[in-house]
Amino acid sequence: MGAVELAGVAVPYLATVAGAYGGAVVQRVVDQSADVTADAGVGVGRRLLRRLLGSGRSVQIGQTVTEVGEEPDDEAGREVLRAVLVKALSEDAGLAEDVARVLADAEVTGAVTVQGSQGVQVGSQNTQTNHFGSSLDGLR
């Protein structure tokens, strides 16, 4: 998996942990105590962020994830995070291998691209029902 695809897979998990912890995301993740309330998506995000914070781009990654935590609905912030990750993963093959290993251990196997969405589910055993079209007659 290349740096661009790897970053695309990792960003939703990082955004999930940022959304769960808000602006204090970096402090919460570097705290070694386990968060027993964390769901699968947050757990993967914590493991990814811990590893990324040990990289040569830790300051940029930490700042960007914090910004996403402060404004979780800001799509531009997620794009900046993705760009920072692509740069970090492209520069450090060991980091890319470690991130790929975290995702593989979590049984994350590929990327999902969602455009124009109102939300994205991250985690395991999720159920999502989508109704398309302007008529709700079939739902009554």
pLDDT at 123: 53
The whole-number pLDDT of residue 17 equals: 82
Quote the tokens at residue 6: 């790897």
Determine the pLDDT at residue 94.
93
Question: How much is the pLDDT for 22?
Answer: 78
Q: What is the mean pLDDT of residues 96-106?
A: 89
pLDDT digits (tens, 9 = 90+) for 40-99: 667 888 889 989 989 999 999 999 999 998 988 899 999 999 999 999 999 999 999 999
* Euclidean distance between CA atoms 32 and 30, whole angstroms: 6
Residue 140 has a pLDDT of 45
Break the chain into its structural domains and give their ranges: 3-111
Compute and round to an integer the Cα radius of gyration of the chain: 16
Task: Note whether 9 and 114 are within 8 A (CB).
Answer: no
